[in-house]
Amino acid sequence: MSGYGADVQAALREVLQGAEPLADAAARAPHGVNLRGYLPRNAGFSASEPDPVDNSDRAYWSAVRDINTAAGYQAYLRRFPNGLFVTEAQRLLQGAQDTPQQQAAAEEKALNLSRNDRRSVQRDLTLLGFDTRGVDGVFGPGTRGAIRAFQRSRGFRDTGYLTRAMVTRLVRDADARRKEVEAEDRAYWQRTGITGVKEDLEAYLERYPNGVFSEDARDQLAVILAEEAEVAFREAQQLDTVVAYQDFLRRYPNGPLAEQARSRIDILQNTGTGQTATDTQVAKDKAEERVVASNPVARLLIERALEKVGHNPGPVDGRFDQRSRRAIKAFQRSAKLPRTGYVSRDTMARLTAASLR
């Protein structure tokens, strides 16, 4: 019973004290007072025996629930306006009248997909040629667009949301495509990678960077490149010039002999200039660096200063790696300081002054 306080009190008193059928009490209620719920036409609130259950109501409701459509719930409410299941029918009718997009979103939500499940969906779509713009487990505009494209290509309703039937089809099609890709991968390996030739191995990895034989191809390439690097380094040693070592580094910048080449270049370029750093000097500068560059912010400023004065420290990220150390040595060489690769107080002072010019 709902309505204004005084009116509700009066109506409630009549209902509780009277024996008239509740349907009649609802019809005679004062303006603004509403009664809802089970309102039989042949029993009042104080009746000692409940009205027999309307079996036709239950049977009709059971059929409507099986159909589960907005039209069905509306038919029930018309036939049984005071029926046992009015409240439930109204609630389900509201849900059934949601937009198709809302229904599609609800159906996908009911799948309870985990983050890994969503990544699998994105990988499968990408494999089939539907670009999701990343595999991160987040269904953004890229993934929704890929889902819609897949739905159109397979005759599903174009909603951008997953259904159980669509996921089943997606998994099936992706598995079939994986088998095709693996067969193509193996066939290409037989034409290229199996030869063991550098160019063939590189061609295989360019086409199948994560292929069946990619690990084997990389291992073989690593051996070949290491052998080539050793030969090239010996040639550079025979010439023993800055140009020869620089040419070696252009070809093998990250090889195991690269650091030796850089060290030799440093020696050749600095013969007669700067000061040779002793172990004592290195230890001294290292200790001073812990004071003048004790935190990432200070190291970040040092890297920016090195970059400003023309010595590339690599990524300016507040971390001193090998490139940072080489840049520090290069500055120390130009400033006629001991080339330790550590930021001493003198190095810090000279670098600060140089960067402010």
CATH architecture for the domain at 109-190: Orthogonal Bundle (1.10)
Please tell me the distance from the alpha carbon of residue 76 to that of residue 90, in angstroms, as a whole number.
10
Q: H helices of the chain, where?
A: 5-17, 22-27, 55-67, 70-79, 86-96, 100-109, 115-127, 141-154, 164-191, 198-207, 214-239, 242-251, 258-270, 279-292, 296-308, 322-334, 345-355
Beta bridge partners of 185: none
The answer to whether the 109-190 and 279-355 domains have the same CATH topology is yes
Please tell me the distance from the alpha carbon of residue 9 to that of residue 130, in angstroms, as a whole number.
66
CB 348, CB 292: distance < 8 Å: yes
Please tell me the distance from the alpha carbon of residue 118 to that of residue 108, in angstroms, as a whole number.
11
For the chain, domain boundaries: 55-97, 109-190, 239-270, 279-355
Nearest to 253 by CA among 339, 303, 322: 322
pLDDT (tens place) for every residue of the chain, 357 residues total = 888 777 788 888 778 876 778 888 888 788 788 888 888 877 777 655 444 446 788 889 988 888 787 788 888 999 999 999 999 988 888 776 666 777 788 889 889 999 999 999 999 999 999 999 999 999 999 999 999 999 999 999 999 999 999 999 999 999 999 999 999 999 999 988 788 898 999 999 999 998 999 999 999 988 998 899 999 999 988 888 888 888 999 988 887 788 888 888 877 776 544 455 677 888 899 999 999 998 989 999 999 999 999 888 989 898 899 889 989 988 988 888 888 889 999 999 999 999 888
CATH number of 279-355: 1.10.101.10
